[in-house]
Amino acid sequence: MNESYIGILYIVPTPIGNLSDITSRALIILKNVNIIVAENIYHTNILLQHFNIKNSLILMNKDNEKKQSDHLIDKLKEGQTIALVSNAGTPVINDPGNLLIKKCHFFNIQVIPLPGPCAAITALSASGLMKNRFCYEGFLPSKKKNRCDLLYSLREETRTMIFYESKYRILESIQDIIEQIDENRHIVIAREITKKWESIYGDKATSLLQWLKEEKYRYKGEIVIIIDGFKQIKNKNIDQKILHTFLILKKFCSFKTSVLITSQIHKVNKNNLYQYLIKNKSDKIN
């Protein structure tokens, strides 16, 4: 059994836009700890000044996280209390801090998390796409090939998916979602949540892209993308007429072409039909 220490690391979420979203407990902790560890000193100073809090700040970002974690562990071992904050939202959620937390657990140092703002969960709560199971994917990869590979691997993900995205890539990413996942998949864009120009808008992927392209301001600022999960076509839901058309076409064309023509004749989603037929390939389709 490791020795245990009296130092405590508090994980303190901060507002993602509206400063009134800070909790009174967060303010008490920020006021009373020995050290606040911030991702950006300038940014956190603005927050502290707003709430009239004076305290010592130490910088920890992705560049110095390893070195700084060792130094902070020494402080915690001495019995100091530390609050970890990021620029906005919950620390560690696509922000630095995980290494420090891991080390705290290793050295048996108490870690106390505070609940509070997080863009992913706030966006999800308003998306109308929540069905009790979701997955958080963080930022979509910036390289097109990596992004497309990831999206393709998620095309049959049944849970609601949450992504962070930059305003510079949003149009490209929605286009990739259309190509790799499904042009008809429902997507919600939650932008500038809790801020003055907050907006939440959802539609099927192609219509959403069209809508975004109409006005530049519609994709300005900070963005969360929520994608509805994949819905499997159940056997009983597929019309026998659709299957019949497919089977006739299949005698003359490739599998893919038959799916495409069938989906156009019967006005059904080609990806869903494709997935259904692939799943049932072993029985009656071939």
Interacting residues toward ligand SAM by CB under 6 A: 16-17, 86, 88-90, 93-95, 118-120, 164-165, 190-195, 222-224
We find the least distance from the C-beta atom of residue 189 to ligand SAM, in angstroms, to be 9
Q: Would you state the structure tokens that stand for residue 89, as one six-digit string?
A: 């939202």
Nearer to ligand SAM, 170 or 242 (CB): 170
Nearer to ligand SAM, 108 or 146 (CB): 146
Q: Would you state the structure tokens that stand for residue 82, as one six-digit string?
A: 């530390």
We find the least distance from the C-beta atom of residue 18 to ligand SAM, in angstroms, to be 9
Pairing of strands 160-165, 223-227: antiparallel
Report which of 101, 119, 267, 83 is spatially closest to residue 200, judged by C-alpha positions: 119
Nearer to ligand SAM, 79 or 138 (CB): 138
245 φψ region: left (φ > 0), alpha (ψ -120 to 50), beta (else): alpha
Q: How far apart are CA 233 and CA 256, in angstroms?
A: 18
We find the least distance from the C-beta atom of residue 117 to ligand SAM, in angstroms, to be 7
Q: Would you state the structure tokens that stand for residue 11, as one six-digit string?
A: 């994980």
Q: Which residue matches tokens 């939650």?
A: 190
Q: How far apart are CA 156 and CA 259, in angstroms?
A: 17
Nearer to ligand SAM, 76 or 226 (CB): 226
Q: Which residue minimizes CB distance to ligand SAM?
A: 89
We find the least distance from the C-beta atom of residue 167 to ligand SAM, in angstroms, to be 9
We find the least distance from the C-beta atom of residue 44 to ligand SAM, in angstroms, to be 13
Using alpha carbons, list the distances in angstroms from residue 129 to 227, 228, 230, 264.
8, 6, 12, 27
We find the least distance from the C-beta atom of residue 41 to ligand SAM, in angstroms, to be 17
Nearer to ligand SAM, 43 or 204 (CB): 43
Q: How far apart are CA 286 and CA 284, in angstroms?
A: 6
